[in-house]
């Protein structure tokens, strides 16, 4: 299987601007940062959540807590993932009861990850509200799940993949559209 890069969707600067915009959107819609917390979904949701929290600090001067959630145990398709899917820890160092939680992920696709993430959140307690913030929405939903905060909406086909590359993980900073080709 080969990966062919088709086009660049976002540059480093565009990512940064979008995250700033999302941070503002969230703060505005939430009416402030009280009881607000961000939960980054492993892996790439985590640095995105941290950056959005940092941007929020700039807006309101307030520290919005950030938690990380590993959804492996909550997936419905575990048998289709490679054997011995490695577990990472979740780390949510605050109570979720009565909180206004924003799940953060890089790409929203079928919606299954978000469904699993909500299962994980509700095992921890009873949040007041859960909303979803994603950098890219690429359509093809299989669950009745939508994001409240979207960086960019992109039309894609099934064989295409959107790769969000972040400095913290990939040592580069851009969003690309790639194609999977058998060969």
Partner 1 sequence: MPGALLTWPREAPPPLTRKQVNYRFRDLLAMEPLSADEITFILDQSKPFQEIQRNPLKKLATLRGKTVALAFFENSTRTRLSFGTAASRLGADTMNLQAEASSLKKGETLLDTANNLNAMKPDCFVMRHSSSGAADFVARHLEIPVVNAGDGTHEHPSQGLLDALTIRDRKGTLNHLNVTILGDIAHSRVARSNLHLLGKFGCRFTLCGPAMWVPRELEHIGPPGTPIRCVYRVEEALEDADVIIVLRVQTERLYEPSLSQNDYILLYQLNAERMKLAKPDALILHPGPINRGTEITPDVADGPRSAVLEQVTNGVSVRMAILYLLMVGATEGTTHPALEGKTVS
Q: Comparing C-alpha atoms, which of 30, 53, 56, 25 is closest to residue 128?
A: 30
Q: Does residue 161 interact with partner 1 by CB under 8 A?
A: yes
Q: Which residues of 127-159 are buried (b: 16+ CB within 10 A; e: fewer)?
A: beebbbbbbbbbeeeeeebebebbbbebebeee
Q: Does residue 98 interact with partner 1 by CB under 8 A?
A: no
Tokens of residue 81, six digits? 């993932």
Q: Does residue 2 interact with partner 1 by CB under 8 A?
A: no
Q: Does residue 7 interact with partner 1 by CB under 8 A?
A: no
Identify which of residues 55 and 134 has a Cβ nearer to partner 1 in the complex.
134
Give least dist CB 92 to partner 1, A.
9
- Which of 66, 67, 109, 151 is in the footprint of partner 1 by CB under 8 A? 109
Identify which of residues 13 and 73 has a Cβ nearer to partner 1 in the complex.
73
Q: How many angstroms separate the CA atoms of 28 and 150, rounded?
A: 14
- Which of 4, 13, 78, 98 is in the footprint of partner 1 by CB under 8 A? 78
Q: Cα 84 vs. chain centroid, distance in angstroms?
A: 24
Residues that bind partner 1 (rule: CB under 8 A) add up to a total of 38
Give least dist CB 61 to partner 1, A.
31
Q: Which H or E run contains 119?
A: helix 112-124
Q: How many angstroms separate the CA atoms of 183 and 168, rounded?
A: 31
DSSP code for 80:
G
Identify which of residues 43 and 152 has a Cβ nearer to partner 1 in the complex.
43
Subset of 124-153 contacting partner 1 (CB under 8 A):
124-125
**What mask of x and - would describe binding to partner 1 in positions 31 to 70, judged by CB under 8 A?**
------------x--------------------------x
**How crowded is residue 67: how many other Cβ atoms within 10 Å of its Cβ?**
21
CA dihedral 93, 98, 104, 109 (to 10 degrees): 130
Q: Which H or E run contains 19?
A: helix 12-30
Q: Can you give the binding site for partner 1, defined by CB under 8 A?
A: 3, 43, 70, 73-75, 77-91, 105, 107-114, 119, 122-125, 161, 163, 180
């Amino acid at each position: 299987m080969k990966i062919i890069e088709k086009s660049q969707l976002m540059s480093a600067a565009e990512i940064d601007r979008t995250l700033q915009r999302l941070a503002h959107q969230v703060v505005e819609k939430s009416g402030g940062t009280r009881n607000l917390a961000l939960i980054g979904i492993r892996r790439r949701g985590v640095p995105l959540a941290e950056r959005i929290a940092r941007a929020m600090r700039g807006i309101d001067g307030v520290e919005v807590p950030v938690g990380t959630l590993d959804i492996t145990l909550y997936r419905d398709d575990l048998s289709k993932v490679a054997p011995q899917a490695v577990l990472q820890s979740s780390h949510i160092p605050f109570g979720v009861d009565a909180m206004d939680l924003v799940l953060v992920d890089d790409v929203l696709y079928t919606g299954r990850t978000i469904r699993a993430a909500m299962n994980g959140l509700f095992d921890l307690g009873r949040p007041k509200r859960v909303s979803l913030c994603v950098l890219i929405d690429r359509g093809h939903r299989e669950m009745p799940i939508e994001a409240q905060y979207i960086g960019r909406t992109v039309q894609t086909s099934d064989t295409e993949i959107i790769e969000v590359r972040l400095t913290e993980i990939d040592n580069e900073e851009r969003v690309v559209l790639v194609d999977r080709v058998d060969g």
